[in-house]
Amino acid sequence: MKKLFFVLLLCSAVSCLLVSAQDAETKSGYYYVNVPIVMIYPYAKGYVVTYNTGVLSDGLATIYLPQAWFAPGKDNRGTIVNLKQGTVKPSFSVIYKDGAFDHVKLYVKKDRKDSSWGYMPLSVNIDDRFENVTDIKIEY
């Protein structure tokens, strides 16, 4: 019963967000999609973020965010917002302008000992996954 209530509550919240995002899109050309993070892994070339593919699905999807997106400058396509302990769970927001990817915001716990942070083994080499990343495609 609790799961059914949670699913209904989450579906209604998502539909409200989608309606408000459509209103914002028609006015400014911007809209966003906010996705809860299951785990985030810092890597030398950027961040590896895993998230659930849907409310009714147990599947996980992964996105690769290049470190260059978070570097200061006029062409940064990413921002990191540190959450204090005891606040909302980590998430990321993908912001679109006129239907195309514009930038991403990571809302993560500052404390890297938090359970939302993971660690990549040094033997893992995924450098190629960060090359030529130009946008984010969220799987549902």
pLDDT in tens, 32-80: 999 999 999 999 999 999 998 876 667 899 999 999 999 887 678 999 9
The answer to the question of residue 39 being in a domain is yes
In a domain, 6, yes or no: no
Residue type, 137: K
Whether 108 is covered by a domain: the verdict is yes
Output the DSSP codes for 54-110. Answer: -TT---EEEEEEEGGGGSSSTT--EEEEEEPTTSPPPEEEEEEETTEEEEEEEEEES
Q: Is 5 inside a domain boundary? A: no
Note the pLDDT of residue 1. Answer: 52
* Residue at 75 is within a domain: yes
Q: Report how many domains make up the chain.
A: 1
Asked whether 46 and 69 are in contact (CB, 8 A), the reply is yes
Q: Strands 100-109 and 91-97: what pairing? A: antiparallel
Domain boundaries, position 77: 29-130
pTM score, whole prediction: 0.75
Q: What pLDDT sits at residue 9? A: 45
Q: Is residue 109 assigned to a domain?
A: yes
In a domain, 4, yes or no: no
Residue 106 lies in a domain: yes
Would you state the torsion angle of the CA atoms of residues 113, 42, 82, 67, taken in this order, to the nearest 10 degrees? 160
Q: In the prediction, which pLDDT does 57 show?
A: 66
pLDDT tens digits for range 105-131: 999 998 888 899 999 998 999 999 999
Neighbours of 65 (CB within 10 A): 23
